Chains A and B, each alone.
Chain A
């Protein structure tokens, strides 16, 4: 990971630099977004995030790591999205857990796995946004506490306490759905 990106001034360079940034970060961003908001709008939001990044490229000063910067844009865009979405409730359908243990059959196992994946995603989506984002950044993106603090704009202590609450809430949700059975 290149830590020290210089401020970008040249407009001609800008597009190329952006292209590089996109290629480097598209998996991170897309996955984070996907886990935070679900598959439905992940693509649109990813686009929104990168365009925001492009527009603010000039403002990026290299005093933070580029990765952290992109993550914070991601988090902010997702927060806005979730806030908007929470005002129109009922968009995330709650599904009764119906996971049966694998039968040894590869197809059934595959289907099981898909189902479990979907259920896990559902659980994530149902977590409250502050907990969810900490959990995703930590468990899926592997960020350090300090990085999460920088990305989410909260103190490290808050990151830790949120992480604890998030893990507990996640486990309980999984239990309810019988995912841990």
Chain B
């Protein structure tokens, strides 16, 4: 039965169809093969007897529900993908970071003042105080009224005050020059203040005192050190106050003299004590007045020059443009802050809602 094996494959293949002629012929002859076919048909019958099954009735609803849910999730996923896919996340992070950077820089820029502007200035205060000393205001007509005094022009007492602001290339180097110059001129440096701006530019402010005679020369000399940015000169005539004070001191001294004489004549301790008390009072007055006088002398003998030397700011070339940009930037940063301030609470609420829905969704789909 060697040929049967091959024939049987053919039988198996054509089980559900018309057998080819050769096979049919073999079947007619070979008993075993036709028995095999019979068995095969029986087996096939088993398969075909398998009853068709109806899918469970709830299946359709279940699937449709799931599809619908997936539709929703699909939307969420697409949204999530948009936000979370690494490739898309990077630019988002970049944008966020640059925003933060802009905020920080903007904030610093916004709050930062290029120079700690100090009011003009403690240094000047003593001068102002001198001006506002409790004395009669100067009568503007004074010099004219006392015509006799015109002769004593040389004795006019004037307080000179100058303020000079320079822009220089090297403040530290010039400081040395200034000190040298002032010393030669017979003056001195009353106060120095030096500060460095965030850009590294050095600024120096010096209060110089020098004999009035050299005042104008000194101003010219100092102005030559750099570019004059600001300059002011004040002269205050205190001749009258000065002479007044001198006269009053003279009076008081005479009084003192008288008291001394009285003291000589004093008869008992009580009188002595009384007179001495008066004497002491008058001496205090005299000393006080003499102090003021000395101050006036000093002020009018020595002129005061407040010299400020600043190195130019880096961007000073386009100063106005820079300033404009800075202003604009300040404005926009301010606006940004305002807008953010408005948006932030709503954004927070939105975030919370998104978060809750996301959590809810994932919880639901897990089920």
Q: Are A43 and B59 also in contact (CB < 8 A) when A139-B44, A171-B40, A180-B43 are?
A: yes
Whether A27 lies near B44 (C-beta < 8 A) is no
Whether A46 lies near B59 (C-beta < 8 A) is yes
CB contacts (< 8 Å) of B53 on chain A: these are 30-31, 34
Other A-B contacts than A30-B59, A46-B59, 9 sampled, CB-CB below 8 A, are A23-B60, A30-B53, A35-B50, A43-B59, A116-B46, A117-B49, A121-B50, A135-B47, A171-B39
Q: A22, A27, A35, A175: which contacts B63 (Cβ < 8 A)?
A: A22
Nearest-neighbour CB distance to chain A for B121, whole angstroms, equals 76
Q: Are A47 and B66 also in contact (CB < 8 A) when A171-B43, A180-B43 are?
A: yes
Query: Is B78 part of the binding interface, using a Cβ–Cβ cutoff of 8 Å?
Result: no
Whether B46 lies near A47 (C-beta < 8 A) is no
Whether B12 lies near A26 (C-beta < 8 A) is no
Whether A26 lies near B52 (C-beta < 8 A) is no
Whether B43 lies near A51 (C-beta < 8 A) is no
Which chain B residues (134-175) contact chain A, with CB distance < 8 Å?
Answer: none
Q: Are A43 and B48 also in contact (CB < 8 A) when A51-B63, A180-B42, A180-B43 are?
A: no
Among B40, B46, B52, B62, the most chain A Cβ lie within 10 Å of the Cβ of B46
Which of A70-78, A88-96, A159-167 is the contact stretch?
A159-167
Whether B46 lies near A51 (C-beta < 8 A) is no
Query: Is A154 part of the binding interface, using a Cβ–Cβ cutoff of 8 Å?
Result: no
Query: Is B261 part of the binding interface, using a Cβ–Cβ cutoff of 8 Å?
Result: no
Whether B59 lies near A47 (C-beta < 8 A) is yes
* Alpha-carbon distance between A70 and B68 when the two chains are bound, in angstroms: 20
Query: Is A158 part of the binding interface, using a Cβ–Cβ cutoff of 8 Å?
Result: no
CB contacts (< 8 Å) of B44 on chain A: these are 139, 167
Nearest-neighbour CB distance to chain A for B280, whole angstroms, equals 109
Query: Is B184 part of the binding interface, using a Cβ–Cβ cutoff of 8 Å?
Result: no
* Alpha-carbon distance between A34 and B59 when the two chains are bound, in angstroms: 14
* Alpha-carbon distance between A164 and B36 when the two chains are bound, in angstroms: 14
Query: Is B56 part of the binding interface, using a Cβ–Cβ cutoff of 8 Å?
Result: yes
* Alpha-carbon distance between A34 and B64 when the two chains are bound, in angstroms: 20
Q: Are A120 and B50 also in contact (CB < 8 A) when A19-B64, A30-B55 are?
A: yes
* Alpha-carbon distance between A163 and B53 when the two chains are bound, in angstroms: 24
* Alpha-carbon distance between A174 and B44 when the two chains are bound, in angstroms: 10
Whether A47 lies near B49 (C-beta < 8 A) is no
Query: Is B284 part of the binding interface, using a Cβ–Cβ cutoff of 8 Å?
Result: no
CB contacts (< 8 Å) of B9 on chain A: these are 164
Tally of A interface residues using CB under 8 Å:
40
Name the residue of chain B whose CB is nearest to the CB of A145. Answer: B13
Name the residue of chain B whose CB is nearest to the CB of A119. Answer: B46
Whether A160 lies near B13 (C-beta < 8 A) is yes
Whether A51 lies near B50 (C-beta < 8 A) is no
Which chain A residues (15-44) contact chain B, with CB distance < 8 Å?
Answer: 15, 18-19, 22-23, 26-27, 29-31, 34-35, 43
Query: Is B320 part of the binding interface, using a Cβ–Cβ cutoff of 8 Å?
Result: no
* Alpha-carbon distance between A26 and B47 when the two chains are bound, in angstroms: 20
Query: Is A83 part of the binding interface, using a Cβ–Cβ cutoff of 8 Å?
Result: no
Nearest-neighbour CB distance to chain A for B233, whole angstroms, equals 85
Nearest-neighbour CB distance to chain A for B151, whole angstroms, equals 111
Nearest-neighbour CB distance to chain B for A161, whole angstroms, equals 8
Nearest-neighbour CB distance to chain B for A139, whole angstroms, equals 5
* Alpha-carbon distance between A23 and B60 when the two chains are bound, in angstroms: 8
* Alpha-carbon distance between A6 and B54 when the two chains are bound, in angstroms: 29
Query: Is A64 part of the binding interface, using a Cβ–Cβ cutoff of 8 Å?
Result: no
CB contacts (< 8 Å) of A8 on chain B: these are none
Which chain B residues (4-62) contact chain A, with CB distance < 8 Å?
Answer: 9, 12-13, 15-16, 39-40, 42-44, 46-56, 59-60, 62
Query: Is B92 part of the binding interface, using a Cβ–Cβ cutoff of 8 Å?
Result: no
Nearest-neighbour CB distance to chain B for A82, whole angstroms, equals 19
Name the residue of chain B whose CB is nearest to the CB of A47. Answer: B63
CB contacts (< 8 Å) of A54 on chain B: these are 67, 70
Q: B15, B51, B63: which contacts A167 (Cβ < 8 A)?
A: B15
* Alpha-carbon distance between A27 and B55 when the two chains are bound, in angstroms: 6
* Alpha-carbon distance between A94 and B206 when the two chains are bound, in angstroms: 108
Whether A26 lies near B60 (C-beta < 8 A) is yes
Whether B63 lies near A50 (C-beta < 8 A) is yes
CB contacts (< 8 Å) of B40 on chain A: these are 167, 171
Name the residue of chain B whose CB is nearest to the CB of A172. Answer: B43
Q: Are A26 and B43 also in contact (CB < 8 A) when A31-B52, A54-B67 are?
A: no
Nearest-neighbour CB distance to chain A for B89, whole angstroms, equals 25
Whether A170 lies near B50 (C-beta < 8 A) is no
Q: A15, A43, A50, A170: which contacts B47 (Cβ < 8 A)?
A: A170
